[in-house]
Amino acid sequence: MGLLRLSILALVLGCSSKAPPPKSPEPPTNQAAGEPAAEEKLVANPAPADDPPPPEEEDKPDDGAPPQKPASVTAAHLKTADAVLALMVKLGVDMQAAGSDCKAAAKVITAASKSIAKLKPDIDKLEALTKSDAQAKAWFDANYLSKMMTALGPLMSLAGTCGKDPDFQAAMKSMDAA
């Protein structure tokens, strides 16, 4: 298993490993600030601003809209996803409170692993769904990914700080076993 059981849980709930490509910077221009671009200088009669966009732009689907929840995602799946997210949020808050105290962080992780172990059967069902149903995975990506990654931030930070602490390592192993 990986270093963090919670990151595995995030993946179980549909978090994709595909990151959006970085935006490329705008190419540099040699025009002075406030000076119209060369293309703007060549247009003799620009279209009025209140003209509707060309029809081909109106017919494009909204690629930024989240996918609709597929019928395969049941109330039980949602309950599990929400419970795991709540645990992650609590873990993140508790990890922030631990500061850089690796012993305190280890206690927080051990307590969280006990809570996660109670959800294991339901997590397994959710994992099976997201592995077998691409629409369900996409829906969980759209609705849970950013929340889970935000919640995991403090744990990830402390893992770098406390990675060699024996109590922290033992707590992480208990998380993996959950």
CA–CA gap between residue 118 and residue 138 (Å, rounded)? 26
CA–CA gap between residue 172 and residue 39 (Å, rounded)? 59
pLDDT of residue 78: 95
Q: Which residues in the chain show pLDDT less than 50?
A: 1-31, 38-44, 57-61
Question: pTM for the full model?
Answer: 0.64
pLDDT of residue 67: 76
pLDDT of residue 177: 72
pLDDT of residue 71: 94
pLDDT of residue 13: 44
DSSP string across 92-144? HHHHHHHTT-HHHHHHHHHHHHHHHHHHHHHHHHHHHHHHH-HHHHHHHHHHH
pLDDT of residue 82: 96
66 close to 143: Cβ distance less than 8 angstroms: yes
